[in-house]
Amino acid sequence: MTTPATPPNLFDLPNPDDPNAVAVLMARVQGVVDKQKPLLAPLAEAFVARGESLYLVGGPVRDAMLGKVSHDLDFTTSARPEVIREILDAWGEKTWDTGIEYGTVSAVKHGQQVEITTFRADLYDGVTRNPEVTFGDTLDGDLVRRDFACNAMAVELLLIDGTFAPQFHDPVDGLEDVLHRRLDTPQAPEVSFRDDPLRMLRAARFVSQLGFAVAPRVFDAMRDMAEEITRITAERVQAELDKLMSGAQPWEGIDLLVQTGLAEHVLPEIPALRLERDEHMQHKDVYRHSLTVLRKATELEDPEEEPDLKLRWAALLHDIGKPATRAVKEGGGVSFHHHEVVGAKMARKRLKALKYPKHVIEDVGQLVFLHMRFHGFGEGQWTDSAVRRYVTDAGELLPKLHKLVRADSTTRNPKKARRLQRTYDHLEERIAEIAAKEDLARVRPDLDGNEIMQILDLNPGPEVGKAWKYMKELRLERGELDHDEAVAELKAWWEQERSNA
């Protein structure tokens, strides 16, 4: 099966078989327009006065049907860019035209941003995703060139005898696609994706964000044209992947990329996991396990906060080192020793290729590196020293590491699952106990560099750094020492170093 037979209903959509279903969606659109009437009516009047038409279009219309609040309002119009700018200069509080060469002018009024674009009828060269910008003359011509039918609906902001009278336009049956939670293209998908291959990633993103499923012909085109994604820059790929990973169901979007072959070009480490069976033999393969960990990590986030992209990326990538470290054990089974070390390097390399910021690369890599640390200790075997090292190595990533490790427990054995969670509960209790006595977030040697130089009569140099590292290890191993004890330990270590020299 390539796509879910019944996609998840992430939003309160009516049953498509309900005879009132269309009326429900149209009432939602009308409600949004009515709510924005104080803003929209004067804007529409300004366009009508210039002999131009104005349409609320795309995402805001779709989101209204889904019961979502769209914070940005996008419009299309028959007016040319210079006319749009003149109207917005008079209507808005602030106007900017950085996109005017593409027909787009933006403005803000009463805290609400609007973006208005002239009808487009672009031509693509089939080599890049950058079109030859051509302005169109009809709404239908503009809508048919959009990515998906559910984004190709419009509400015309009409004034009839001076009365605000919005009118719905849906030339490519986008409303039906919303009702059936389906992603389909206005044109043949082969034409749409050849024009702009990034739309294939957008399909996966909408699967994650909206809970829609791609139409069979869209799936087939994505599979057949996957290599076309190599025409897209790493920066644009990264932006779409982040939107996908920020969605309500990122595992579904990732799965679509893998099933269609797109992941082979943008995240090849993920489909590679399908070749490896999980060492516990409780999952179909490591790939499915990784999607499960991503789902569980997402569910552990605070729903009131923004999606935790570092946690989600670490959850998806945490086992990518397994294919390179797989070894068959005597007597049967397989092992993946040090896959977290290999995986951390691979994660950093992939995120770097996708042009992620350095802090994202390092933090995700560190989470992958640390995700197995917990499993190196059995129940009740966490010494104070081990707890200090765990907290120190995680640093500010500790809350994310807690969630990642808990999400990584995907065993189907209820007894084992309870035991693992109970063991981690115990570790968090130990961390809290020691933190109550020591400042675990700032574990430092009991003697600083200046004191070390004074006690050992050293000048700044490598020997001071070596002594500092020794005192840091001593602090992690034994906890806080009083000053005299710390000095004695430093001198004893120094005598040993000199005798070995």
What's the per-residue H, E or C state across 202-224? HHHHHHHHHCCEECHHHHHHHHH
- CA–CA distance from 171 to each of 45, 122, 316 (Å)? 25, 18, 39
Q: Could you tell me the pLDDT band of residue 440, with boundaries at 50, 70 and 90?
A: low
- CA–CA distance from 23 to each of 27, 93, 148 (Å)? 6, 36, 22
Q: Could you tell me the pLDDT band of residue 206, with boundaries at 50, 70 and 90?
A: very high
Q: Are residues 308 and 393 in the same domain?
A: yes
Q: pLDDT at position 20, please? A: 95
Return d(Cα 302, Cα 288) in angstroms, integer.
24
What is the dihedral sign for C-alpha 70, 76, 79, 83? positive
Q: Are residues 32 and 161 in the same domain?
A: yes
- Please give the mean pLDDT across all residues of the chain: 87
Question: Helix axis angle, 309-317 relative to 234-245, nearest 10°?
Answer: 100
Q: Are residues 363 and 458 in the same domain?
A: no
Question: Helix axis angle, 384-394 relative to 462-478, nearest 10°?
Answer: 120
Domain boundary (410, 440, 470) is at 440
Residue 259 placed within a domain: no
Q: 16-20, 254-258, 336-340 — which is least confidently predicted?
A: 336-340
Q: 484 pLDDT exceeds 70?
A: yes
Domain boundary (179, 197, 218) is at 179
Residue 450 placed within a domain: yes
Q: 387 pLDDT exceeds 90?
A: no
Q: Are residues 133 and 46 in the same domain?
A: yes
The rounded percent of the chain whose pLDDT value lies above 90 is 57
The rounded percent of the chain whose pLDDT value lies above 70 is 90
In this prediction, residues 480-498 reach a mean pLDDT of 80
Which residue is associated with the tokens 């049907």?
65
Contacts of 171 (CB under 8 A, 6+ apart): 139, 140, 143, 144, 152
Q: pLDDT at position 126, please? A: 59
Q: Are residues 398 and 475 in the same domain?
A: no
Residue 198 placed within a domain: no
Q: 136-150, 225-239, 334-348, 486-500 — which is least confidently predicted?
A: 486-500
Q: 277 pLDDT exceeds 60?
A: no
Q: 453 pLDDT exceeds 80?
A: yes
In this prediction, residues 405-414 reach a mean pLDDT of 81
Q: 377 pLDDT exceeds 50?
A: yes
Q: Are residues 330 and 424 in the same domain?
A: yes
Residue 195 placed within a domain: no
Q: Are residues 329 and 346 in the same domain?
A: yes
Q: State the total domains in the chain.
A: 3
Tell if the pTM clears 0.85, that is, is over it: no
Q: Could you tell me the pLDDT band of residue 488, with boundaries at 50, 70 and 90?
A: confident
Q: Are residues 153 and 36 in the same domain?
A: yes
Per residue in 332-363, pLDDT (tens digit) is 677 787 898 999 999 999 999 999 999 999 99
Which residue is associated with the tokens 């992947």?
241
Residue 476 placed within a domain: yes
Q: Could you tell me the pLDDT band of residue 282, with boundaries at 50, 70 and 90?
A: very low
Residue 226 placed within a domain: no
Q: 283 pLDDT exceeds 50?
A: no
Q: pLDDT at position 445, please? A: 65
Residue 28 placed within a domain: yes
CATH number for the domain harbouring residue 148: 3.30.460.10
Residue 229 placed within a domain: no
| Inter-residue long-range contacts of 50-54, CB under 8 Å, 24+ positions, other chains counted | 50/79, 50/83, 50/87, 52/77, 52/78, 52/79, 52/83, 53/77, 53/78, 53/139, 53/156, 54/79, 54/116, 54/156, 54/157
In this prediction, residues 443-472 reach a mean pLDDT of 78
Q: Are residues 423 and 488 in the same domain?
A: no
Return d(Cα 53, Cα 41) in angstroms, integer.
13
Q: Among residues 226, 225, 204, which one has the least CA distance to residue 213? A: 204
Q: pLDDT at position 443, please? A: 62
Q: Are residues 386 and 488 in the same domain?
A: no
In this prediction, residues 368-383 reach a mean pLDDT of 76
Kindly state the DSSP code that residue 284 receives in the 8-state scheme: S
CATH number for the domain harbouring residue 375: 1.10.3210
Q: pLDDT at position 291, please? A: 96
Q: Are residues 169 and 301 in the same domain?
A: no
Q: Are residues 30 and 91 in the same domain?
A: yes
Q: pLDDT at position 439, please? A: 58
In this prediction, residues 218-236 reach a mean pLDDT of 97
In this prediction, residues 369-377 reach a mean pLDDT of 81
Highest mean pLDDT among 131-145, 184-198, 427-441: 184-198
Q: 442 pLDDT exceeds 70?
A: no
Domain boundary (179, 202, 230) is at 179
Q: pLDDT at position 1, please? A: 38
Per residue in 41-86, pLDDT (tens digit) is 999 999 999 999 999 999 999 999 998 888 889 999 999 999 999 9
- Widest Cα–Cα separation across the chain: 100
The domain of 475 spans 444-500
Return d(Cα 422, Cα 26) in angstroms, integer.
50
DSSP calls for 44-80: HHHHHHTT--EEEESHHHHHHHHTPPPSSEEEEESS-
Q: 299 pLDDT exceeds 70?
A: yes
Q: 70-74, 375-379, 487-491 — which is least confidently predicted?
A: 375-379
Q: Could you tell me the pLDDT band of residue 2, with boundaries at 50, 70 and 90?
A: very low
